[in-house]
Structure 1
């Protein structure tokens, strides 16, 4: 299961081959939405051996805590505190892989997509929200919690001083470039903003700020940028790469244009990075 802020996708797969899938809107009644998914799986007739849950965050991933498996405080109405993992653990007696949707997508891109051959890489999704999964040594990076890359503060490039739309931080990256933020910033729905709109140059500069931070803090072998805006606006990639080179200003071995051109790429799995991320989590949960 890939559970996003807008839609939920359930898929049954054998290896990386998705045999069947279904999707539902992520409604404000979490129990009803998850119940539909459980019922769909139970009625599939498939003898599956593991489940992977790739969910929107924040997620509680520390197995030592009593709230392990639950969604933390989220702006998504009706989902804060929901026992996401426990819902499926009660319904199905199989191993369960559980992580963020972006960590799952990062694993999938490393296993089958644009980050193949990389043990250390990052997957960014830019769409309804902004998130990122960091893979270090082949496994998702966790500490006291999982990374919240979308809420990093970057230099605001908006010409009119847009205050940002994040209810927690204002003009963090998500508050500047997520779909809803762009709608407030431009007065146009994110998916309807034309490719030649001047806001894209500002967005590219703000995303490049994050790219530069990731280069300096994690030194990844690849940064894959997906999501509705990340993948749906291909004209952004040359602008992001050029702005990242400028932001890095020649410092370090991962700062020249030729290296950044190879480093910052669209997803190799396209829109399937999310559901295949859940598949990767399921595969990794098997003994």
Structure 2
């Protein structure tokens, strides 16, 4: 029995096929161009494999509300050609099999809970910090959706006292994504984040915003673990800085696990999303 997975990102699609033990038998990376081109390559890949279900974790925003007329669509994305694209419908038209549908970060959160950093726990929040900021939430072993899916990267945060940058988010300017995603570092300092020295003031400011977000997520969701992925979080000096800033900001108000076990890097790395998609494909049947 074979299972399929699609981790659909704004830059590339990763498609994979595995057996029930999660042994990946084949995997490909496909550039994200326009739907007609990208999906043609997706179909060419899965046409070769007799999969019984597919799990999809897609860039967004997407419609995850099964009562909605546009359930399964990519909605208000700025990605050229993908606005209001019926992603799930295209897959269902091609393959008469069950398809699990969620966001890429939800899939990554699920992968980390079942096979990564949060194994043995019932809840976690996964946050990716890169070109943008997005997050997925799993509570009681289930991905959290409501009318839509959480957009935890766009919460409003207080300004760092030394930060005057207006923010990069085209919708909200200085929301969390606007002040802490990768492009904000480049706009402030004129170089990409990985070119800054580990001791640069930028990382203290970055940690302040991320720690503030952690406090908000803790107060609202109280997950057992908060897991970070994405390109910005490859700066390992951020983790002690975030823990220190979180301690100051929460000021003893709520209890959490030891911070070294609460604020952690992802364990599956770039495989978190595809692992989650495969697990969701298995559960779909």
Q: TM-score, normalised by structure 2?
A: 0.93
**1:240 alignment counterpart:** 242
The alpha carbon displacement at 1:71 in A equals 1.0
State the secondary structure of the residue aligned to 1:265.
Answer: strand
CA RMSD of aligned residues (A): 1.5
For 1:129 and 1:26, locate their aligned partners in 2 and report how far apart those are by CA, in whole Å.
Answer: 17
Structure 1: gaps (5+ residues): none
For 1:25 and 1:200, locate their aligned partners in 2 and report how far apart those are by CA, in whole Å.
Answer: 32
For 1:175 and 1:262, locate their aligned partners in 2 and report how far apart those are by CA, in whole Å.
Answer: 28
For 2:264 and 2:195, locate their aligned partners in 1 and report how far apart those are by CA, in whole Å.
Answer: 23
Structure 2: gaps (5+ residues): 1-5
Q: Does 1:13 align with 2:18?
A: yes
The alpha carbon displacement at 1:241 in A equals 1.0
Change (3 A) 1:181 1:4: farther
1:135-184 CA-to-partner distances (Å, cap 9, x unmatched) read 11111111111100011111232734000000000011111122223222
**1:34 alignment counterpart:** 39
**1:137 alignment counterpart:** 140
Change (3 A) 1:7 1:217: same
| 8 Å Cα contact 2:194/2:235 also seen in 1 | no
State the secondary structure of the residue aligned to 2:187.
Answer: helix
- 1:1-287 matches, cutoff 5 A: 1-14=6-19, 15-27=21-33, 29-42=34-47, 45-157=48-160, 159-230=162-233, 232-254=234-256, 259-286=258-285
| 8 Å Cα contact 1:4/1:101 also seen in 2 | yes
For 1:271 and 1:5, locate their aligned partners in 2 and report how far apart those are by CA, in whole Å.
Answer: 15
For 1:65 and 1:178, locate their aligned partners in 2 and report how far apart those are by CA, in whole Å.
Answer: 31
For 1:68 and 1:158, locate their aligned partners in 2 and report how far apart those are by CA, in whole Å.
Answer: 42
State the secondary structure of the residue aligned to 1:220.
Answer: coil
For 2:112 and 2:26, locate their aligned partners in 1 and report how far apart those are by CA, in whole Å.
Answer: 20
For 2:163 and 2:177, locate their aligned partners in 1 and report how far apart those are by CA, in whole Å.
Answer: 18
For 1:73 and 1:35, locate their aligned partners in 2 and report how far apart those are by CA, in whole Å.
Answer: 22
| 8 Å Cα contact 1:6/1:128 also seen in 2 | no
Provide runs of 4+ in structure 1 moved above 6 Å.
Answer: none
1:71-105 CA-to-partner distances (Å, cap 9, x unmatched) read 11122232210111112111112110110011111
| 8 Å Cα contact 1:54/1:281 also seen in 2 | no
Change (3 A) 1:82 1:241: same
For 1:66 and 1:148, locate their aligned partners in 2 and report how far apart those are by CA, in whole Å.
Answer: 21
For 2:116 and 2:92, locate their aligned partners in 1 and report how far apart those are by CA, in whole Å.
Answer: 29
Change (3 A) 1:239 1:32: same
Q: TM-score, normalised by structure 1?
A: 0.93
**2:3 alignment counterpart:** none
For 2:131 and 2:49, locate their aligned partners in 1 and report how far apart those are by CA, in whole Å.
Answer: 32
